[in-house]
Structure 1
């Protein structure tokens, strides 16, 4: 018997409504459910993301070592360059540059509130470094 029937990633941020617009556009989400201090997004593929209001939220400093990564999102994409243009156009920013050539290229970004996430091609088999 399964006790846990669903789950989602929850990010704390000062302005969940504003950050929800970033992820809604990035994910092409159609279903957005807003509450007083929380916004939930459901992408077409079923991925669920919640943004919870925390007026004292501070962004992690990743990839700098003085603050832990805490958590990050990872999205699989077909075209790294096109997705980068979309992310930057929506207010996100690159946080790490690396060689994205080859079948498992990966790039790191921060959303407008500073939460880190990566986009990658293919299936990564490498362990986390650091």
Structure 2
């Protein structure tokens, strides 16, 4: 029997309701818990995120070195351009959208509260059709 059954990525922010709405739309998620200081969502693939109120939070400054990465999230996507448009439309901000060399293409963004995340396109492992 596992001692740990689930994990939740928790981001501190001044306005958890607004940040939860951003990720809820981005991930096609549903809200599962909301209190005065915390909102938790669950994505269609089971990924869970929570947003905790902290009025003194300082967002990371990546790519500037001052407060660089505190943590970041990788999201796997099929179409970088399509998801980028959605991120920007929801209030996110591009940080590093140069295509990385190698087998994985990735681009860096921040959510409306300044937390950084990466959209990563991974090569398909399915056999080619036709």
Using the size of structure 1 for normalisation, the TM-score is 0.88
Corresponding position of 1:26: 26
Q: 1:71 to 1:48 in 2, by over 3 A?
A: same
Residue 108 of structure 2 contacts residue 117 of structure 2 at CA under 8 Å; is this kept in 1? yes
Residue 28 of structure 2 contacts residue 43 of structure 2 at CA under 8 Å; is this kept in 1? yes
SS at match of 2:88: helix
State the 1:119 CA deviation. Answer: 0.4
State the 1:105 CA deviation. Answer: 0.7
State the 1:13 CA deviation. Answer: 0.1
Encode CA deviations 1:38-71: one digit per residue, 9 max, x unaligned: 0000001000000000000110001111113010
- Structure 2: gaps of 5 or more residues: 124-130
- Pairing of 1:1-130 with structure 2 (within 5 A): 1-100=1-100, 103-122=103-122
Using the size of structure 2 for normalisation, the TM-score is 0.88
State the 1:87 CA deviation. Answer: 0.3
Q: How many residues align?
A: 123
Structure 1: distance between partners of 2:97 and 2:112: 18
Structure 2: distance between partners of 1:37 and 1:29: 19
SS at match of 1:88: helix
Residue 95 of structure 2 contacts residue 108 of structure 2 at CA under 8 Å; is this kept in 1? yes
Encode CA deviations 1:68-122: one digit per residue, 9 max, x unaligned: 3010011000110010000000000001132257751100000000000000111
SS at match of 2:86: helix
